[in-house]
Amino acid sequence: MAQNMMLYWSSGSPPCWRLMIALEEKKLQGYKHKHLCFDKKEHQCEEVKALNPRVQLPTFKHGDLVVNESFAACLYLESAFKSQGARLIPEDPAEQALVYQRMFETDNLQQKMYDVAYYEWFVPEGERHESALKRNKETLVAELKLWDGYLEKMGKGSFLAGKDFTMADVVCFPVIAYFPRFHCPKEKCPRLMEYYEMVKDRPSIKASWPPHWLENPEGPDTLKNL
C-alpha cells in the first residue's frame, strides 16, 4: 500500500516531519518521497505546483488522492489505516477531545517559537525593535509555562494527552524538538524537556529525524537568551 504513496518534503520542517512520523507509526514504510530544499526554492517545482495550489510542503499523494495540509494528512492516515500500526486516536470521546485540543494548540507553540527564533529572518532590519522582540520572548515563555503545566498535571512519564503516545505527540514533537536544538534554557520548560528526552528515541522519530540535523546536531542559539 505504501508504494502508492508519494511525499514531497523538506528536512526539519515540522509539518513534513509530523507526517513522516505518522507514516512510520502506521507501518507505512516504503513510500516514495522526494526531498526538496526550501532555501533553493525547490518546493516551487512544477511537480508540487501540479498537486498543491498553495505550493507548500508537505505535499502528499496516495493513489489518486492528494492531501496537503499536514494535520489533514496525519488524520487521513489514521482513518485509512486504523487497524495498522499504532492507534493514534483513542476511542473514548473525552480522550479524543484532549488529543485534538493538544494537536491544534501546537500551532500556538510553533508560531510563538518562530516569532523569537526567526525574528531577524521574518522582520526586515529597518522594522526590528528590541521592545517587539522582548514582547515575543515574554509571550513564548508564557506559552512554555502552559505546556509545562499540562505535563505536570498529568504526571511524570506522561505523553502530551495521557499515558499513551497519540496523534498529539505526532503533531507536536517536531515543534518541541526545536527548543533544545536552538539552545532554549532547560529551566524555562523543564517538564517539556523531560518529555523531549523520553520521546526522542522512539523508533518512528529516530527513523524520520531530519537528515541535516544529523549532519549538524547543533542549531543556532536563537533561544538561548529567552
Q: Where are the domains of the chain?
A: 2-80, 93-215
pLDDT tens for the chain, residues 1 to 226 = 789 999 999 999 999 999 999 999 999 999 999 999 998 999 999 999 999 999 999 999 999 999 999 999 999 999 999 999 999 999 999 999 999 999 999 999 999 999 999 999 899 999 999 999 999 999 999 999 999 999 999 999 999 999 999 999 999 999 999 999 999 999 999 999 999 999 999 999 999 999 999 999 889 999 999 9
Burial class (CB in 10 A: 0-12, 13-18, 19+), 41: exposed
Rounded to 5 degrees, what angle do the CA atoms 208, 195, 202 make? 30
Residue 148: CA atoms inside 13 Å, Cβ hemisphere, count?
Answer: 14
Residue 75: CA atoms inside 13 Å, Cβ hemisphere, count?
Answer: 11
Residue 2 has what pLDDT? 87
Cβ contacts of 121 within 8 Å, gap of 6 or more: none
Domains 2-80 and 93-215 share a fold: no
Residue 119 has what pLDDT? 93
54 near 43, Cβ under 8 Å? no
Residue 56 has what pLDDT? 96
Alpha-carbon span 16 to 28, nearest angstrom:
15
Alpha-carbon span 85 to 74, nearest angstrom:
13
- Torsion angle, alpha carbons of 39, 45, 49, 53, to 10: 10
Q: Please tell me the pTM assigned to this model.
A: 0.96
Cβ contacts of 186 within 8 Å, gap of 6 or more: 193
Residue 217 has what pLDDT? 87
Class of the domain covering 2-80:
alpha beta
93-215: CATH topology: Glutathione S-transferase Yfyf (Class Pi); Chain A, domain 2 (1.20.1050)
Rounded to 5 degrees, what angle do the CA atoms 71, 188, 133 make? 75
144 near 152, Cβ under 8 Å? no
